[in-house]
Structure 1
Amino acid sequence: MATVPHCLYCFETLAAYLEGRKSLSLSEVVDAWNEYKKDAGAGIEDSSKQESLEKQIPALKRVVGSESTDISSTSSPSSGSSLSLATETTATSTDSLPETIITESPLFVTWNTVSPRTGNTSLRGCIGTFEAQELGEGLSSYAITSAINDMRFDPISKRELPSLEVAVTLLTDFEDCADTMDWEIGKHGLRISFSERGRRFGATYLPDVAAEQGWTKEETLVSLMRKAGWSGRKDKWQSVELKVVRYQGKKKSLLYSEYKEWRDWVDQKDEDEA
């Protein structure tokens, strides 16, 4: 699954791009994060020690939390995504691998803006790929692509950085569905494809979308078809022959303030060693 360093790396990549400086590499971010934890006195190795970390480092509570801010008032799904489509999806599973040795995976990077008044989030950009990516290159590429090239939104600007939240989702366990309802809300993401009047359609929702929006399976599928560009009558959706692929993947989210605290520590450490 995605980790805190993956999120830090996305922020580092985007901030460096917008600030015109060189970004740390993913391996440098991982090493710095591990040192940061030790320096802060956290001494944790896995999420089972989350409570201890929260007591020792209150500012990191949401870094360790497994879910992002509630978005019940968000008009667009926080993980309703654009995608880079391959012609075929290769079955991929990293569930059985320790997080430390996952080196490549299909992935999505989502940017949200967070209201300082309510804490609610709004989608600001989301693009990913179903082709396995080497994480250092893939996360860097899609962190910028989703922030700058999501055609639904204006490019993210430097001044927006403090209002941002990033979510990284590594995708696993791709399976063809036996039928359109052969999947579970909250567990599976969906990738649909279909043809109508000589035109091909395709779209995806990440695993958390349907649950966050409170949709039924039918509502999820109809919404996904609309997202793909289908304009038929809602009550006729079942007449369309859908190919449905389900997949899994748990996201990790991080606020800019949490990235900034870590980045300030890195800068101070570099100054002390200079």
Structure 2
Amino acid sequence: MATVEHCLYCFESLAAHLAGRKSLALEDIEKLYAEFCEADNTPTGQDGQTESDTGGSKMGAIKKRIPALSRLAKTSSSSSGPSSPSSGSSLSLATDTPDTSMSSLETETERAAPLTESPLFVTWNTVSARSGNTNLRGCIGTFEAQELEEGLSSYAITSAIHDMRFDPISKRELPTLEVAVTLLTDFEDCDDAMDWEFGTHGLRISFTDRGRRYGATYLPDVASEQGWTKEETLVSLMRKAGWVGKKDKWQDVDLKVVRYQGRRNTCNTLSTSNGGIGSNLKERHR
């Protein structure tokens, strides 16, 4: 499944690109994040001071290596909702949501063998420090399996800079951003256009109409998030592909529908007006 480290690596890749510097490698992020968590869990004595004099300095050094961690107020692999703002800075982390995750079904073998490649999507949102509301800022991915280090870096930048629906993300926007990494799994041909489940399946459609070929996708949470019916979802997806036919004629089009699932992780950096951070865990994909 997608991990916190994958999200941090997307932030690092984008920040490095915008700053014109070389990004840390995914392996470096994974190592530093493990060290950060270890330092963060340093036990405290009765006087409230850490038993290790090196814990704080070690965390500070790691934060400098991974800029997104400089906003870390709380790290939690089980956060499922908003928490109150902190007086520190933050990176809020959310694990896979139940409606798009298969993590509970993973075998011991799958957990023991880290994923090295996968089809993937990277989604950027801006998060309002005042309301916690999110707005889509870019989302691009691929259905071809990618080596994770190269794929995450490439699509973190591509979705931030080259999504033609939006202006390129700027360096000044970094503190307001949320990233979601979705690793795609379990691709299946649908028996018909309605052969899929809300919140479980993403959809990839393809069709030909009047000699023109069309195709588009929605990630697993879009339909349920928007409150659409299955018919509304399919028509919206056809519109997204560029189809301009009459809405009540959509069933006359021979749709090929592939369903898939997504294993996702989300994190954001959200500065509040008083310098604190809220760990708002909005999750939106397009």
- Tell me which residue corresponds to 1:200: 213
**Structure with the larger RCO, 1 or 2 (CA within 8 Å, 6+ apart):** 2
Once structures 1 and 2 are overlaid, which stretch shifts more, 178-187 or 209-218? 209-218
Deviation at 1:113, TM superposition (A): 0.6
Q: Distance in 1 between matches of 2:218 and 2:42?
A: 35
Paired positions, count: 226
Q: Distance in 1 between matches of 2:228 and 2:254?
A: 21
Deviation at 1:211, TM superposition (A): 1.2
- Identity rate of aligned residues, in percent? 68
Structure 1's 42 and 10: CA in aligned 2 closer, same or farther, altered over 3 A?
Answer: farther
SS in 1 for 2:168: coil
Name the Cα RMSD after superposition.
Answer: 2.6
SS in 1 for 2:191: coil
SS in 1 for 2:123: strand
Deviation at 1:190, TM superposition (A): 0.2
SS in 1 for 2:228: coil
- Tell me which residue corresponds to 2:269: 256
- Tell me which residue corresponds to 1:62: 92
SS in 2 for 1:221: helix
Specify which of 95, 110, 113 is matched with residue 123 of structure 2. 110
Structure 2 alignment gaps of length 5 or more: 44-75, 98-104, 277-286
8 Å CA contact 1:106–1:130 kept in 2: the answer is yes
Q: Distance in 2 between matches of 1:240 and 1:228?
A: 13
- 2:196 matched to 1:166? no
Specify which of 222, 241, 248 is matched with residue 209 of structure 1. 222
- 2:30 matched to 1:17? no
Deviation at 1:256, TM superposition (A): 2.2
* Structure 1 segment 57-96 matched on structure 2, within 5 A: 62-67=92-97, 96=107
SS in 2 for 1:133: strand
8 Å CA contact 1:111–1:126 kept in 2: the answer is yes
Report the TM-score, using the length of structure 2 for normalisation: 0.73
Deviation at 1:32, TM superposition (A): 0.7
Q: Which has the higher helix share?
A: 1
- Tell me which residue corresponds to 1:185: 198
Structure 1 alignment gaps of length 5 or more: 68-93, 262-274
Deviation at 1:60, TM superposition (A): 6.8
8 Å CA contact 1:222–1:234 kept in 2: the answer is yes
Structure 1's 114 and 106: CA in aligned 2 closer, same or farther, altered over 3 A?
Answer: same
- Tell me which residue corresponds to 2:155: 142
- Tell me which residue corresponds to 2:7: 7
Structure 1's 148 and 195: CA in aligned 2 closer, same or farther, altered over 3 A?
Answer: same
Deviation at 1:21, TM superposition (A): 1.5
Specify which of 240, 260, 277 is matched with residue 247 of structure 1. 260
Q: Distance in 2 between matches of 1:2 and 1:42?
A: 26
Larger Rg: 2
Once structures 1 and 2 are overlaid, which stretch shifts more, 245-254 or 134-143? 245-254
Q: Deviations over 1:86-142 (max 9, x none)?
A: xxxxxxxx9552276100000000000111221111110000000000000000000
Structure 1's 202 and 157: CA in aligned 2 closer, same or farther, altered over 3 A?
Answer: same
Deviation at 1:40, TM superposition (A): 0.3
Report the TM-score, using the length of structure 1 for normalisation: 0.76
The letter of the residue matching 1:11 is: F
Q: Deviations over 1:237-259 (max 9, x none)?
A: 1111100000001321111259x
8 Å CA contact 1:202–1:228 kept in 2: the answer is yes
* Structure 1 segment 259-274 matched on structure 2, within 5 A: none
